[in-house]
A = this chain, B = another copy of it.
Amino acid sequence: MQIREVEQSAGLPAKTIRYYEEIGLVRPNRQDNGYRIYSTEDVHRLRFLQRARGLGFSIEDCRALLSLYDETGRESADVRAIAEAHLDEIDRKIRELKGMRQTLAHLVHACHGDDRPDCPILDDLAGIGDGV
């Protein structure tokens, strides 16, 4: 299978697929003309990567997950540990964004948003009203 076809089946752009090869995640063979040729196993790994990245796992997490996937004698606890750490990280990010959201929504609500120059959003950013 050539790269253009793999784009479809893995759901990844060709550039990304080549990049994943560059960093050693997938190693397709080459045809005599130098073209990459992907086995079903390669495509499988790429799809694995596409899903894992879609769940927000870092490239290094993906590398670890792939190597656990290759290991027949792996312990599911190892996989679960990676997933749980990532889950904690996602929760942390959600909390962080919710904090921003709350402040910002409050400010947007307070701003009349017309042609007048006074603006609670800028006032807040400038620190007006916090005693500085």
Interface residues of A (CB under 8 A from B): 44, 47-48, 51-52, 54-56, 65, 68-69, 71-77, 79-81, 83-84, 86-87, 90-91, 93-94, 97-98, 100-101, 103-105, 107-108, 111-119, 121-122, 124-127, 132
Contact = CB atoms under 8 A, between A and B. Distances in A.
A117 B72 CA distance: 7
Total copies of this chain within the assembly: 2
Contacts of A112: 76
Contacts of A98: 94
B101 A90 contact: yes
Given A51-B125, A98-B94, A119 B74 contact: yes
B68 A113 contact: no
Contacts of A86: 104
B122 A79 contact: yes
7 contacts: A51-B125, A55-B100, A71-B117, A76-B118, A81-B113, A87-B108, A94-B98
A114 B54 CA distance: 25
Contacts of A76: 111-119, 121-122
